[in-house]
Structure 1
């Protein structure tokens, strides 16, 4: 943890001439961009995998018609099809999984008052009027919704809501273009109907994350979510 803290502090010192008191916040945004660049090859692979999944839908539909009454044979046939076509059904999860360590590092770094037995100096840094170690509840308690720190969170919520709305519309279009493949009797797989209704709203859950984690981790989430929206729009166009 102390090594990571030193990295963030050194990056903040490097950016201080340009960003002044908000240098640590800028360092977190830059760190997030670096993580997303590292993960970008996985995102490209996930995009190729999703396009391949769409192309496999007719073949999977045929397998469901053939083995619809035998779930084990159907599962085996679908796995063999994916292996033959060199398509991994889990490829879309890899970009998110590889980002989790970076998020949790920031979360723990800005949740601890001490690092290696010494005071955590990073907690003294701010994004304008909002300390990077505080949460939205702290902002509401000190200055209210329209206080200095509250306005910082309001700006983050506006960004997240805008990105979530963009993702919502995009997901709805994708699901309309590529509807779920029915089972052999023409019905959807169990639970797919409910999942189809909930999935477009998943992006709005980010608002809750931003509200409850330290501001530094919220900055990571906002930056990563915005990056992801732009990246997916480019890769899945």
Structure 2
């Protein structure tokens, strides 16, 4: 699905990504974790087509990306909801931009609001919603376009622990129901281990990948309750702590 070859991204003399290589298989999930300033968000934005590489190659489904891609959905940390639009209109936005007809918009928005338990909130504005509700609206808006690639940048970072785990569970269920590839950037170790089939640990200052861990338990909704979950969390934590010493 995603092929990254010898990727370099520079801001003047600052090296954000340094000769990075990574493959993410189709219909898999990749969690990218690392300390602040390691380049993980820069990498995600490059895959999204928002940032242009200084050199190197990014291909999605065998095609070199040339800017924003219609089948790529993006969920950002601040949700990206328009405050002057209702929940319904925010969810419908991606379809309207893609010139979908009214019947298609009504059908898809109605279905996704029902699936994410947002029907009763459809006439409310973002300011009237909790953080978890706003995040569900952002997820709903993205899923209406039926993306084959879903990119997320710290999507649950502002939520409390219980809301965070609830939305992680929801995201995993949606992943299973919809054929798509997921890439999530996070600074939370437990989130990376729960949502990543492939866990990419980035080095602190070098803009490089330190290690990639394959998680054979990805997709198990009870994974958090198993000893292996904490073993992998400890492995990730140990690798990240070595950067701090």
After TM superposition, the score normalised by the length of structure 1 is 0.29
Q: Report which of the two has the higher share of strand.
A: 2
Q: Is the radius of gyration larger for structure 1 or structure 2?
A: 1
